[in-house]
Structure 1
Amino acid sequence: MVISLCHHPLFRQLAALGLDTRDYVVFGSAPMFAHNLTERLHDLDVVARGEALRYAETHGVPGTGSVTGDRLWKLCDGRIEVSERWVSPEWDTDDLISRAELIDGIPFAPLSDVLKYKLMLRRAKDGEDIRALYRRTGAPTPPAE
């Protein structure tokens, strides 16, 4: 049974922040959750600019990104992490936000970007996600490593 994202506590918390959807995009594994490709969702990774970023800087707890060491701000007891950019300079924040896909009024990174990101990191926990993303996006599957 598929439920609306507004019933999930993390998305309710995100909505309660009142951020302008034109100033952020949800990345990480959350787009897979929104597309019913995973049932796992422990936190939200948000890339923000403008007022959305200023809100996080003002109301969030400062932290450091685990992949890049970049500054980020933790909201909602650390379950929502807001950063100014994604994991490397090749991910342009404005471009990511402009290409976001709205699902239940929430801007998500496209699945093709999620696949690219997970392939870039290739963490042990990403294997199942990568296979699911290849199946959903129809991208040609690379040879086994």
Structure 2
Amino acid sequence: MTTILDHPYVQDLLSLGLPSADYVIAGSGPLLARGWISDPGDIDVVARGSAWRLACAHGQPTDAPYSSVQRLQLFGGHVEVLDGWFPELWPTDELIDEADVIHGIRFVRLAVVAATKKMLHRPRDLEHLAIMAAHGCHA
């Protein structure tokens, strides 16, 4: 993979034609974008407004497992589009508007990634927290 743009899950996401100002990649995507991991498992996308409406044209939203948000699982589950990301902690607009932009794509800030992974505390999250710490990201 040369850049994040070459990853097949990101290519799938970009094929949806969502307006870039209305979505952000969360979960492990920010680690993938920095080249710290090569397999994110899936791409978690938080969408608002027109991006959410366009995504909904590709499927029926269902309840997300960890929060009071809706999600769409697309491309065999490799791209998951959600209408929020633990909104009790982070307003969707804040996540999108304050995102890091890498290769023209918005990614949630690393502090959000770290907080989410600490909260979920799954084995994969603990591995990712160790990777983040090895790169000087201590949250």
Q: TM-score when scaled to structure 2?
A: 0.89
* TM-score, normalised by the number of residues in structure 1: 0.86
Tell me, in whole angstroms, the C-alpha distance in 1 between the residues paired with 2:90 and 2:20.
18
CA distance in 2, matches of 1:135, 1:112: 15
Paired position in structure 2 for 1:39: 38
Cα separation, 1, equivalents of 2:109 and 2:49:
21
Cα distance in 2 between the residues matched to 1:93 and 1:41: 22
CA RMSD of aligned residues (A): 1.7
| Larger Rg computed on CA atoms | 1
Q: Which runs of 5+ in 1 are unaligned?
A: 141-145
> What residue in structure 2 maps to residue 75 of structure 1?
74
Whether the 8 Å contact between 2:85 and 2:92 is mirrored in structure 1 is yes
**Percent of residue pairs identical:** 35
Report the Cα distance in structure 1 between the residues aligned to 2:123 and 2:137, rounded to whole angstroms.
Answer: 22
Contact kept? 2:99, 2:108, Cα under 8 Å: yes
- Bigger shift: 73-82 or 88-97? 73-82
How is 1:1-145 mapped onto 2 (pairs within 5 angstroms)? 3-68=2-67, 70-139=69-138
In the alignment of these two chains, the number of paired residues is 139
Mark the runs of 5 or more structure 2 residues left unpaired by the alignment. Answer: none
The whole-number CA distance in structure 2 between the counterparts of 1:35 and 1:116 is 18
